[in-house]
Amino acid sequence: MYKRQALISSFAFGSAQAATVSSLSDSFDSVPSQTNYTSFSNWDVSNGTVDAIQVGNPWGLNCVTGGCVDLDGSTGNAGDLTSKDGFSAGQYTLSFDLSGNQRNSASDGLTVKFGDYEYTFNLASNAVWTTFLISSVNVNEGDKLSFMHAGGDNIGIMLDNVSVSAVPIPAAAFLFAPALLGFMGLRRKAKNSVA
Residue numbers of the site for Ca ion (CB under 5 A)? 27-29, 51, 63, 65, 67-68, 70, 108, 153-156, 160
* Cα–Cα distance for residue pair 38/191, rounded to 1 Å: 61
User: 7 or 128: whose CB is closer to Ca ion?
Assistant: 128
Nearest to 86 by CA among 46, 52, 42: 42
DSSP conformational letter for 6: H
User: At closest approach, how far in Å is the CB of 45 from Ca ion?
Assistant: 12
Using CB positions, name the residue nearest to Ca ion. 65
DSSP of 83-123? ESSEE-SEEEEEEEEEE--SSSS--EEEEEEETTEEEEEEE
User: At closest approach, how far in Å is the CB of 30 from Ca ion?
Assistant: 9
User: At closest approach, how far in Å is the CB of 12 from Ca ion?
Assistant: 39
User: 20 or 62: whose CB is closer to Ca ion?
Assistant: 62
Q: For residues 158 and 71, is the Cβ–Cβ distance under 8 A?
A: yes
User: 86 or 161: whose CB is closer to Ca ion?
Assistant: 161
User: At closest approach, how far in Å is the CB of 24 from Ca ion?
Assistant: 14
User: At closest approach, how far in Å is the CB of 141 from Ca ion?
Assistant: 30
Return phi, psi of residue 51, to 5°. -110, 135
User: 67 or 115: whose CB is closer to Ca ion?
Assistant: 67
* Cα–Cα distance for residue pair 98/161, rounded to 1 Å: 9
User: 10 or 25: whose CB is closer to Ca ion?
Assistant: 25
Give the pairing type, strands 130-139 and 67-70.
unpaired
